[in-house]
Amino acid sequence: MTSILVKLFVKQYQNTEDPTVRARYGSFAGAVGIVTNLIVSIAKLAVGIIAQSVAVIADAANNFTDAASSVVTLVGFKLSEKPADREHPYGHARIEYLTGLIVSFFVVILGVTFFKESLMKIITPTESDFSTLSLVILGISVAAKLWQGFFYRKLAKAIRSDSLKASSQDSFNDVIATAAVFVGALVTRLSGVMLDGYIGCAIAIFILISGIRLVIETSSPLLGAPPEEATVTALTEKILSYDGVIGMHDLIIHSYGAGCTFSSVHVEVPADANVIESHDLIDNIEEDVLDTLGIQLVIHLDPVTTGDERIDRMKETLAKILLEHYSPAVHFHDFRAVFGVTHDNIIFDIVLPLDFGHTEDAVIQTVTEAFTKDYPKAILKIKIDRALWGSD
């Protein structure tokens, strides 16, 4: 059913990388959320008032909050579609992350409110009376929220949206909450045992935990989450596939929201290659990456000396030292040698994982001592880099 609705209401639905199409997906999801949540919340509120059930009323309030969250989602996608301006030169796509965070806070606030109301029902219990119609409405509500959860999840996967992912999780939380309320109401109707407050507390704790987890997940992109491994792999393979590229390093990827990714990298080429040809090479790579991966890439050209036996032997020695003392995750780049009469300046960078267990000074000392055993004239000038991903 979701696929049919998307085809009917989302123009050019297959072009999910287009920011305009993503905004249409978000607007559609927000509109569906507003309508379905309002209907469900009004129906539950009526049941809760008639049955005098705090759990049902709180659940109705939860769904009303979901409707408000859908409004936030709709507005967020509309705003994220705005083009770049003087105040926001990289566009407004990150607004989508903010809407996801707002939805997450709604979940946490609802959990706290739900817990307080349920606790009061335990302290000062009141009798609830559920009719057959009330149970039917609660059952339909469970089915409606289950469909809504799958609906949001499918759209979230289609456009890789954190805010819709948060809405999907919230809907599945509602399924559990309403199902628990339904079971409690059924038990009360059949046995007269009042489970309203206890079920409410249990559901509230579950919602709180889920809400806190969503806050962490949706705030991560705003703080600067690492790029997806698939993106790093695709970009690396694309660059290294070009003839004339010896290697690459210092890859940095910044995301300013879906469809707005910037990257920079150092690309190594032979030092004796024609400068004009090397410049043309990196221009072609930048254009190819933008066309195929949608990433705006800036390349720094690094000329590397090739065919020098002395430098090649030094590189082999350095690689052996790093492998013997550390792990394959530790490597080097930008190796240069300036040979002199009294001493040789050896310049290079060592890349360490972010969670590396040794200090930078200790690494420099170890490498220097080991290297100068074979090359006593060498004076090492080492710069330490930190890998943006990977581990020791």
What's the confidence (pLDDT) of residue 365?
95
Contacts of 177 (CB under 8 A, 6+ apart): 59, 62, 114, 203, 206, 207
Overall average pLDDT of the 35-42 stretch: 91
Give the predicted TM-score (pTM) of the model: 0.59
The one-character DSSP state at 84 is P
What's the confidence (pLDDT) of residue 52?
77
Question: Where does the pLDDT of residue 77 fall: very low under 50, low under 70, confident under 90, or very high at 90 and above?
Answer: low
DSSP lists the bridge partners of residue 254 as 262
What's the confidence (pLDDT) of residue 1?
81
Is the domain spanning 229-386 CATH 3.30.70.330? The answer is no
What's the confidence (pLDDT) of residue 281?
94
Architecture of domain 2-223: Up-down Bundle (1.20)
DSSP per residue, 279-334: HHHHHHHHHHHHHHH-EEEEEEEEEE--S-HHHHHHHHHHHHHHHHHS-TT-EEEE
Question: Does the pLDDT value for residue 130 go beyond 70?
Answer: yes
What's the confidence (pLDDT) of residue 164?
84
Contacts of 255 (CB under 8 A, 6+ apart): 221, 227, 261, 262
Structure tokens at 171: 């809907």
The one-character DSSP state at 52 is T
Question: Where does the pLDDT of residue 258 fall: very low under 50, low under 70, confident under 90, or very high at 90 and above?
Answer: low
- Beta pairing, strands 378-386 & 344-352: parallel
User: Residue ranges per domain, the chain?
Assistant: 2-223, 229-386
